[in-house]
Chains A and B, each alone.
Chain A
Amino acid sequence: MYSQALDGKVAVKSESMDFLEEFQKRIDAEEKIEPMDAMPAGYRKTLVRQISQHAHSEIVGMLPEGNWITRAPSLRRKIALLAKVQDECGHGLYLYAAAETLGVSREEMTEDLLEGRAKYSSIFNYPTLSWADIGAIGWLVDSAAIMNQIPLCRCSYGPYARAMVRICKEESFHQRQGFEIMLALCRGTDRQREMAQDALNRWWWPSLMMFGPPDSESRHSDQSMTWKIKRFSNDSLRRKFIDATVKQAEFLGLDVPDPDLKWDPDLNGGEGGFRHGAIDWEEFRRVISGFGPMAKERLAARRKAWEDGAWVREAARAHAAKTRSANRRDSAVSS
């Protein structure tokens, strides 16, 4: 019954109807799937795509913020930003490791990123022009990431869910340090308030795009929901983000750059919620396909890091091999 949905292909021969139904029963019973369990090829493929994109996003996400570490306005801000960027690196590592349990190697994933075959979050293809951007990223981008990630802690694939639990625990400081930066600017001079407003103006729409295309166009959503890889639709998470964030912007005294934004008391089953204006999906498609303002720089920076580090990886392996053979010689002599 699910065979037709496997990335649009007919299920391979070994994936009998019985096997697929049995698998779906395990998913429906909220059983976690673990690395060595039998799973449909489509499930594996979907997870490899999603987890590796997620990992790439963490790694590329270090670049726009790393750009400001040396220019942070105080030591307090600098140590916080350093710790945050170090966390992103760790998050990338947890996620690559989770993807590797599905049979794809770290090197393959890295090469897919460097060759431009793999995607990463469109948000990191925008430039960080001022210090306020670091505040806006922590506040908006990390808030959006948390909203996306909390449901992933309950994802049906065990290693991904476990990685997400660690990540979510660590992520909440990112969001708070960002809001604190915004708050300091908003309580500062007129010029600082302008900086904060300018950052919100530039980061608001890209943040909304982080939740992915609207439900009506999302290619992978339905099957991912059935497999419980995804728990909520793109649009519902986006609305949740807007409802939470607009109130925070009000607290900061900043204007959300959406003239069509308005409160609708009938949304969310009568609890009320915000309706937002049209999102420029053309821009989203352009940026996610590698045409964002910073896309070339981001990949060039990753390529440089990978190539410059090649001799280190090589030397470490050579040293390990040498030590192993020296140990073997020693134990041969002593026996």
Chain B
Amino acid sequence: MTESTPLWEVFIRPRNGLAHKHVGSLHAADAEMALQAARNAYTRRGEGNSIWVVASADIASTDPDRNAEDFEPALSKVYRHPTFYNIPDGVENL
């Protein structure tokens, strides 16, 4: 089995004012080469003006099997949304 080159996740900011967004991944020996490869692979048509690369091994993630515990409590808390509150007609700017 051939030795493998680390995997990196690539994030690109399309333009100032927007957040970096995940666009894909690639293999590179170090961060500098990952940035060069990301530039060549993911910004050939003006897709952005800033690139982040993060070693995939460094990303921690929630477990989809625990989605019920993690995310369902948010669904039952309707009082966190403005539509939960009754305001009579005629009251303005609320």
Pairwise interchain contact A90-B44, C-beta atoms closer than 8 A:
yes
Would you call A323 an interface residue if the criterion is a C-beta within 8 Å of the partner chain's C-beta atoms? yes
Pairwise interchain contact B25-A316, C-beta atoms closer than 8 A:
no
**A106-B4, A313-B5, A316-B5 given; A93·B26 CB < 8 A:** yes
Pairwise interchain contact B24-A319, C-beta atoms closer than 8 A:
no
Pairwise interchain contact A38-B25, C-beta atoms closer than 8 A:
no
Give the chain B neighbours of A314 by CB distance below 8 A. Answer: 3
Pairwise interchain contact B29-A313, C-beta atoms closer than 8 A:
yes
Q: Chain A residue with minimal CB distance to B56? A: A100
Kindly identify which residue among A34, A100, A110 contacts B25, using a CB–CB cutoff of 8 Å. A100
Q: CA A320 – CA B34 in complex, angstroms?
A: 11
B21 to chain A, nearest CB (A): 11
Give the chain B neighbours of A105 by CB distance below 8 A. Answer: 4
Pairwise interchain contact B44-A87, C-beta atoms closer than 8 A:
yes
Would you call B33 an interface residue if the criterion is a C-beta within 8 Å of the partner chain's C-beta atoms? yes
Would you call B41 an interface residue if the criterion is a C-beta within 8 Å of the partner chain's C-beta atoms? yes
Would you call B30 an interface residue if the criterion is a C-beta within 8 Å of the partner chain's C-beta atoms? yes
Would you call A271 an interface residue if the criterion is a C-beta within 8 Å of the partner chain's C-beta atoms? no
Q: Mark A126-138, 1 if CB is under 8 A from B, else 0.
A: 0000000000000
A143 to chain B, nearest CB (A): 21
Give the chain B neighbours of A90 by CB distance below 8 A. Answer: 40-42, 44
Q: CA A110 – CA B1 in complex, angstroms?
A: 11
**A100-B25, A319-B29 given; A93·B41 CB < 8 A:** yes
**Which residues of A, 146-179, contact B by the 8 Å Cβ criterion?**
162-163, 166, 170
Would you call B27 an interface residue if the criterion is a C-beta within 8 Å of the partner chain's C-beta atoms? yes
**Which residues of A, 276-335, contact B by the 8 Å Cβ criterion?**
313-314, 316-317, 319-320, 323
Give the chain A neighbours of B27 by CB distance below 8 A. Answer: 106
Give the chain A neighbours of B33 by CB distance below 8 A. Answer: 316, 320
**Which residues of A, 74-127, contact B by the 8 Å Cβ criterion?**
83, 86-87, 90, 93-94, 97, 100, 105-108, 110-111
Interface of A is mostly: helix
What number of residue pairs across chains A and B have CB atoms under 8 A from each other? 58
**A93-B26, A317-B29 given; A38·B3 CB < 8 A:** no
Pairwise interchain contact B29-A94, C-beta atoms closer than 8 A:
no
B10 to chain A, nearest CB (A): 9
Pairwise interchain contact A38-B26, C-beta atoms closer than 8 A:
no
Give the chain A neighbours of B64 by CB distance below 8 A. Answer: 34, 36-38
B59 to chain A, nearest CB (A): 11
Kindly identify which residue among B1, B41, B61, B63 contacts A107, using a CB–CB cutoff of 8 Å. B1
Pairwise interchain contact A317-B5, C-beta atoms closer than 8 A:
yes
Would you call B65 an interface residue if the criterion is a C-beta within 8 Å of the partner chain's C-beta atoms? yes
Pairwise interchain contact B45-A163, C-beta atoms closer than 8 A:
no
B20 to chain A, nearest CB (A): 16
A327 to chain B, nearest CB (A): 11
Would you call B54 an interface residue if the criterion is a C-beta within 8 Å of the partner chain's C-beta atoms? no
Pairwise interchain contact B29-A316, C-beta atoms closer than 8 A:
yes
Q: CA A105 – CA B7 in complex, angstroms?
A: 10
Give the chain B neighbours of A316 by CB distance below 8 A. Answer: 5, 28-30, 33
Pairwise interchain contact A320-B29, C-beta atoms closer than 8 A:
yes
**Which residues of A, 35-65, contact B by the 8 Å Cβ criterion?**
36-38
**What are 24 contact pairs spanning A and B, CB under 8 A?**
A36-B63, A38-B64, A83-B44, A86-B40, A90-B40, A90-B41, A90-B42, A93-B41, A97-B24, A100-B7, A100-B25, A106-B4, A107-B2, A166-B24, A170-B45, A313-B5, A316-B5, A316-B28, A316-B30, A317-B3, A319-B30, A320-B30, A320-B33, A323-B30
- Show the binding face of A for B, using Cβ within 8 Å: 34, 36-38, 83, 86-87, 90, 93-94, 97, 100, 105-108, 110-111, 162-163, 166, 170, 313-314, 316-317, 319-320, 323
- If A111-B2, A166-B23 are given as contacts, then 5 extra A-B residue pairs at C-beta distance below 8 Å, sorted by A number, are A94-B41, A106-B4, A106-B5, A107-B2, A108-B1
